[in-house]
Amino acid sequence: MEALTGKTRDSPLGNQRRTRKVSTCRGPVILPKAEHPTRRGASFLWGGLGAASAAMVHLEFTAQLHRFLDTPVLDCDAAQLGQALTQAFQVNPRLRAYILDEQGHLRTHVAVFIDGQRVQDRRGLTDPLKPGSRVYVLQALSGG
């Protein structure tokens, strides 16, 4: 097992951020508030993600969204982007309103990358995922 602490780490998007709650598709990991990894000095064991995690899709939300609500880090079995997002919404239902509009399409201020490539189907969310794919959901920044 690999320990995950409240320390900062580099993300593949090039920024540093604090580690957060991790769950698998086998069910979310529920932690008492005192043990939550976003609390200073807390630690957390990353359970059930040994060799099987290479065959699973990794879904992660960037720090911009984490400021507003708890964003899960998931390793799940999904064939399309919509399936992976649905599993994240099961962990935190409030996340859906930040990511999808009323029609179920990606909001204009949300960018999603699969293995470094921006998603093509923002309406149907049918972009294919293969085992080991890494999906990053971030809030696009705008303004002047």
* Ranges of each domain in the chain: 2-139
pLDDT of residue 6: 44
CATH class of domain segment(s) 2-139 = alpha beta
Residue 100 buriedness (CB in 10 A; 0-12 / 13-18 / 19+): middle
Q: What is the pLDDT of residues 30-61, one digit of tens each?
A: 444 444 444 333 233 333 344 455 579 999 99
pLDDT of residue 63: 84
Query: What's the full length of the chain, in residues?
Result: 144
Q: Which residues pair with 24 in a beta bridge?
A: 27, 75
Both structure tokens of 1: 């097992």
- Checking if the pLDDT of 21 tops 70, the result is no
- Tell me the C-alpha distance between 116 and 89, whole Å: 22
- Relative to beta strand 57-61, strand 73-76 is antiparallel
* Mean pLDDT for the stretch of residues 62-81: 89
Q: Are 81 and 104 in contact (CB under 8 A)?
A: no
pLDDT of residue 14: 52
Least confident of 63-77, 82-96, 103-117: 63-77
Both structure tokens of 61: 């939300």
Both structure tokens of 143: 């303004």
Q: What is the dihedral of CA 77, 86, 120, 124, to 10 degrees?
A: 120
In three-state secondary structure terms, 4 is strand
Scan for tokens 């239902």, then name that residue.
93
| Whole-Å CA distances, 124 to 8, 16, 68, 80, 121 | 35, 32, 26, 10, 6
* Mean pLDDT for the stretch of residues 70-85: 94
